[in-house]
Structure 1
Amino acid sequence: MKIKLLLICTLCCALFGYAQDTHNLEDNSNPILFLESIFGYAGGSAHGPTIGAELNYQQRKNLFSLRYIYQTRFNFDFAILGLVGFPIITNDLNINEISALYGYRTIKDGHSWSFSGGVSANIATYKTKNDGVISKDYETFAGFPFEINIKWFKKEKKRFRAYYGLIPIGKPTSFGRSLGFKFYGNIGKVSYVGVGLNYGFGWHKVY
């Protein structure tokens, strides 16, 4: 889990660093390119928390995306001690999903919405416990990922603000943050559908 979070943070930092090197260029036709993190909760065969990251590129209204999702399955039970019940949460399945998606994205002022579908490669890790010993089994399968997004970002070029939006940096730039909602899922041998938040950095429209 820590390695996956580190990978997501590294990708975000790389995009931010690239943007700081290029935001002073006089370019009225900036690309639509942004990286976003995903935090959600899914139901279905793999019900549990979701984290992930997604890289998006838009040309006209065509949206091309590469998505990574780490999906867990949590089971809830109760242990009875005397007359008191204590909740027990167990994790018996983890899925690593890498997807390529194609979709449609439309922009109006400072918000956008999109829908996409594609194909994915998935690695499922099943955990079982016998006599106190945890064993793991692995399985790979293909899937059909999909998602619907709505997000908000700045309407016009502004100075980028660091440290939680408090300190402005440099000149007005097309690079900025976004915040939105994602309805996502994957249909395959192990299917799930979820709702979450996405938080991104990049160029979200042509300014």
Structure 2
Amino acid sequence: MKLILLGIILLSNILYCYSQQEKDTIYSKTNPIVYSELFMGFAGGNGIGVVIGGELNYQIKKDLFTVKYGYQSLAELTGTAVGFIGFPAFEKTIDNHEISLLYGQRYIKDGHSFSFSGGISTNYADVKQPNNTMTTEESIQYFGFPFEANIKWFKKKKRRFRAYYGLIPIGKPSSFGRSFGFKLVGNIGKFTYVGMGINYGFGWHKKYQQ
């Protein structure tokens, strides 16, 4: 599963490098809508914790197709005592790896978009179950039903791509660019969770006129 996330990161870098060579000489009137993104945030369900991941997206008309890898690290709120005083503590209970295929709808207006998707996933969870004497660990594989909703912002029209945190313009005006937004993400299954976070992407986020 980590290899899939590394593959998504690698593709983002490939898209970034390709953008510096892009001359917008695509034979069709407009560019395709293809973009990758990385996301991170907080999640709750069978415990509370963090969710991170990456995904590839391809859009035809308003139809959005997504391949996603997600990782959730969840912990339960427990307690510990020092003398007669109790203190809250978190005990890590679930490490979950999720590979998902999603389909949804995406609506674009000027320099922002809204999308919602659902699909199916295969999940691999390492679960720690403490008892009175020891903690046991179990690996569980299960299917789930992932869902997500996104709102993101990107450039309204072609501009020169800016490298090094947007400081240095490169090449001619290009349809390739960055995006930033917010994501609601979750999965319904044996270990259901819902999370909220931010996403950051590279790619072609809308069709730009030549």
Instruction: State TM-score, norm by structure 1.
Output: 0.88
- CA distance, structure 2, for counterparts of residue 42 and residue 64 of structure 1: 24
Q: 1:5 to 1:87 in 2, by over 3 A?
A: farther
The residue type equivalent to 2:186 in the other structure is G
The alpha carbon displacement at 1:43 in A equals 1.2
Partner residue, 2:166: 165
The residue type equivalent to 2:184 in the other structure is F
- CA distance, structure 2, for counterparts of residue 142 and residue 8 of structure 1: 22
The residue type equivalent to 2:23 in the other structure is N
Q: How many residues align?
A: 206
- CA distance, structure 2, for counterparts of residue 36 and residue 197 of structure 1: 10
Partner residue, 1:25: 24
Report matched runs for 1:1-80 at 5 Å: 9-21=9-21, 23-27=22-26, 28-80=29-81
Q: 1:171 to 1:45 in 2, by over 3 A?
A: same
- CA distance, structure 2, for counterparts of residue 133 and residue 7 of structure 1: 38
- CA distance, structure 1, for counterparts of residue 88 and residue 8 of structure 2: 31
Query: Structure 2 regions of 5+ residues with no counterpart?
Result: none
- CA distance, structure 1, for counterparts of residue 152 and residue 162 of structure 2: 19
- CA distance, structure 2, for counterparts of residue 132 and residue 19 of structure 1: 57
Partner residue, 2:115: 114
Partner residue, 2:128: 127
* Pairwise CA RMSD: 2.5
Partner residue, 1:93: 94
Query: Structure 1 regions of 5+ residues with no counterpart?
Result: none
Partner residue, 1:189: 190
- CA distance, structure 2, for counterparts of residue 117 and residue 55 of structure 1: 15
The alpha carbon displacement at 1:18 in A equals 3.1
Partner SS, residue 163 of structure 1: helix
The residue type equivalent to 1:57 in the other structure is Y
Instruction: State TM-score, norm by structure 2.
Output: 0.87
Deviation readout 1:82-130 (Å, 9 max, x if unpaired): 5766553321211100000000011000000011111000001113568
Percent of aligned pairs sharing the same letter: 54
